[in-house]
Amino acid sequence: MTFAELQSLLEQIAGAVAKLRQTLETNNMDALPEALEQTRLALELINGYPEGPEKMKSDINQYPEEQKQILHGLLDQASVDHQINGDLIRLAMQRSAAMQSFIAQQAPGATYGSDGEVPGAVGGVLSRKV
């Protein structure tokens, strides 16, 4: 693979991962499906590289130092963005769980009724919902 082809491939991968990061940082749920699809395709490009990702690394190391730095820079940026994406996804999952908990606590059945009775209690016996 030529330097230009490998650079183009790595730019495509880094761009997809960066777009997902931007989408997650801005909480743009409308753009999320497209960003996830582009990231999936980028990962397929890595996995579909002839002889795998390890061969890609060895191919990068065959170029002169200046070109190696360019290619390693693209890989490093994609790696950093990928790690940050993982953190952002974990934070979004925690935020979602907190919101679900908050909403459940606000439900009418989550507290005592205005008459002091426990909602769902029938004849002094708690229902199975509790």
pLDDT in tens, 23-74: 999 989 899 999 999 999 998 988 888 888 889 989 999 999 999 999 999 9
Q: Domains in the chain: how many in total? A: 1
Q: Is residue 123 part of a domain?
A: no
* pLDDT the model gives residue 111: 62
pLDDT band at 115 (very low <50, low <70, confident <90, very high): low
Q: Is residue 8 part of a domain?
A: yes
What pTM does this model have?
Answer: 0.72
Q: Is residue 126 part of a domain?
A: no
Percent of the chain predicted with pLDDT > 70:
82
Range of the domain at 43: 3-108
Q: Is residue 102 part of a domain?
A: yes
pLDDT band at 1 (very low <50, low <70, confident <90, very high): confident
Q: Is residue 119 part of a domain?
A: no
Mark 62-101 as b/e (b = at least 16 C-beta within 10 Å).
Answer: ebeeeeeebbeebbebbeebbebbeebeeeeeeeeeeeee
